């Protein structure tokens, strides 16, 4: 056991379906992610990337094996415990931005803080700081349909950071963006990981994101293969 790991996966198997139609998404995956490390999870569609991210983030459970986040055994948590994990320790960013259409950018970012019943003054300071961090301070009062795709993803990243998570889990965060916008979002993720002192596990096929990562690991047919990452 690596007690210093922010994320530790051991012998994780996950199969969907049964019999001849069974899909073996993960086949005995072992993975350690160090605190403060940005790891790119690379693989073709169907290789198991999303399944692994869901296990780490407490959205799913392995059929066999263990998943620890900050020494918390995610696989042993109740549903309420997994919800607390996602609220307090793990934040998600997806391809689809998932913003609430009727809320402004600032209100969207503040949603996690409202759920935690943070004091109004603290919430407002945190939202203002995060919008500044992602370069959207001047767009605080705009709603999602008034923002570009890249700006919406920046709001989604700011919202993910609102609760000061220990771990950021991102599943193809630039999948719906053009290459130039995607590059700026990827650089932003690199920057916020350092600025917030977080650990990040990012599923991507983009070579620029891979180059920005501290390390890349490849999933091939549900099995993990290490690969060189950023120097």
Identify which has the larger pLDDT, 27 or 4: 27
- State how far the Cα of 177 lies from the Cα of 147, in Å rounded to an integer: 13
Would you say residue 106 lies in a domain?
A: yes
Mean pLDDT of 138-155: 95
Exposed / middle / buried, residue 111 (Cβ in 10 Å: 0-12, 13-18, 19+):
middle
Q: Which CATH number covers residue 183?
A: 3.40.50.300
Would you say residue 179 lies in a domain?
A: yes
- State how far the Cα of 220 lies from the Cα of 214, in Å rounded to an integer: 20
Cα angle 167-57-147, degrees, rounded to a multiple of 5: 70
Contact yes or no for 186/208 (Cβ under 8 A): yes
Contact yes or no for 224/12 (Cβ under 8 A): no
Domains held by the chain: number: 1
For residue 134, the enclosing domain spans: 36-60+78-227
pTM for this predicted structure = 0.86
- CA distances from residue 168 to 73, 140, 182, 215 in whole angstroms, order as listed: 17, 23, 17, 15
- End-to-end Cα spacing for the chain: 26
Would you say residue 188 lies in a domain?
A: yes
The predicted-structure confidence for 111-140, as pLDDT tens digits, reads as follows 999 988 999 999 999 999 999 988 999 999
Would you say residue 4 lies in a domain?
A: no
Would you say residue 65 lies in a domain?
A: no
Identify which has the larger pLDDT, 88 or 137: 137
Would you say residue 25 lies in a domain?
A: no
Task: Please give the pLDDT value at position 125.
Answer: 95
Q: How many residues does the chain have?
A: 231
Would you say residue 164 lies in a domain?
A: yes
Please determine, for residue 229, whether its predicted confidence score (pLDDT) is greater than 50: no
Would you say residue 7 lies in a domain?
A: no
């Amino acid at each position: 056991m690596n007690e210093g790991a922010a994320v530790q996966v051991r012998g994780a198997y996950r199969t969907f379906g049964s019999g001849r139609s069974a899909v073996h998404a993960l086949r005995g995956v072992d993975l350690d992610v160090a605190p403060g490390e940005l790891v790119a999870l690379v693989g073709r569609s169907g290789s198991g990337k999303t399944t692994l991210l869901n296990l780490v983030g407490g959205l799913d459970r392995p059929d066999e094996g263990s998943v620890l986040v900050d020494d918390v055994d995610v696989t042993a948590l109740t549903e309420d415990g997994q919800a607390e994990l996602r609220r307090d320790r793990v934040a998600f960013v997806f391809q689809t931005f998932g913003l609430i259409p009727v809320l402004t950018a600032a209100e969207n970012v503040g949603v996690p803080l409202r759920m935690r019943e943070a004091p109004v003054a603290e919430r407002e300071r945190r939202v203002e700081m995060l919008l500044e961090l992602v370069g959207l301070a001047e767009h605080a009062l705009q709603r999602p349909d008034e923002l570009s795709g890249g700006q919406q993803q920046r709001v989604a990243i700011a919202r993910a950071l609102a609760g000061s998570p220990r771990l950021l889990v991102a599943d193809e965060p630039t999948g719906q963006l053009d290459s130039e916008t995607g590059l700026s979002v990827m650089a932003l993720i690199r920057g916020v990981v350092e600025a917030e002192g977080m650990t990040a596990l990012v599923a991507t096929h983009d070579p620029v994101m891979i180059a920005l990562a501290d390390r890349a690991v490849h999933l091939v047919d549900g099995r993990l293969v290490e690969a060189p990452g950023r120097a």
